[in-house]
Structure 1
Amino acid sequence: MDLQLPEVVSDLLTAQKNYDSDAYAGCFSETALVIDEEKEYKGKKAIKDWIEDANQQFKIAMEPTKYSGTGSTGILTAVVSGDFDGSPVALDYHLEITDNKITRLEITLSNT
């Protein structure tokens, strides 16, 4: 599926596909906030540690299925699979983007 994605979202998906936690964290602003499973990760180092740990534990693969949004906010829906209970699962990535950097990301179960 060919989705029209903001550059930083495309970069994030590439970093995830390559399990590159440095590149993944590089998609975020210095003061970015990630909320996943009701836990908060603030700043690039915490985000890098979070995604590195998640990838080592669960071997996450993301298949984006939909993107909707304006310039500064968007929702990426992706089917996420890996070594975890309930895999695969559809998740919504609620994004806030400023100057081609993600400033906030909240991951929730998709309603679709």
Structure 2
Amino acid sequence: MKLPKVIGDLVQAQNNLDSSTYAECFSETGVMIDEGKSYEGRAGIRKLIEEANKKYRSVMKPLAYTENDGTCVLSAQVSGTFPGSPIVLKFHFEIVDGKIKHLHVTG
């Protein structure tokens, strides 16, 4: 499956448990919404991912990808050390100038 470079980079960073590279996929003012909470800016996103990586050691396996009206949606199987693993999540991206401006993770 062909993914935009920044999404491929994000998946690779997650699978390497690399929170710094993951955060660099976002714009300076990027926003990530996960489990109903909002994280702003690269520092906030890096902290979230760093803590989640230590706790859950999650990896992503892309299953499907669509683009529609400026929104990109990646469905991925996510597995790790969390209850219910693996699960399929949807990652709703808004990408501007090759960086993620907004990411909303849903079940």
- Give the TM interval when normalised to the shorter protein: over 0.9
**Which residue in 1 is equivalent to 2:53?**
55
Amino acid at match of 2:54: Q
TM-superposed deviation, 1:72: 3.8
**Which residue in 2 is equivalent to 1:44?**
42
Aligned 1:22-101 pairs, distance under 5 A: 22-70=20-68, 72-101=70-99
TM-score, normalised on structure 2? 0.96
**Which residue in 1 is equivalent to 2:103?**
105
Question: In structure 2, what is the Cα distance between the partners aligned to 1:47 and 1:67?
Answer: 23
Kept in 2: contact 1:71–1:97 (CA 8 A): no
After superposing on structure 2, the runs of 4+ consecutive aligned residues of structure 1 that deviate more than 6 Å are none
Question: In structure 2, what is the Cα distance between the partners aligned to 1:35 and 1:62?
Answer: 17
Unmatched segments (≥5 aa) in structure 1: none
TM-superposed deviation, 1:14: 1.0
Question: In structure 2, what is the Cα distance between the partners aligned to 1:104 and 1:4?
Answer: 20
Root-mean-square deviation (CA, aligned residues, Å) is 1.1
Task: Name the count of aligned residue pairs.
Answer: 107
Unmatched segments (≥5 aa) in structure 2: none
Percentage of pairs with the same residue: 47
- SS of equivalent residue, structure 1 residue 35: strand
Question: In structure 2, what is the Cα distance between the partners aligned to 1:31 and 1:71?
Answer: 22
Amino acid at match of 1:16: Q
Question: In structure 2, what is the Cα distance between the partners aligned to 1:14 and 1:72?
Answer: 23
- SS of equivalent residue, structure 1 residue 9: helix
TM-score, normalised on structure 1? 0.92
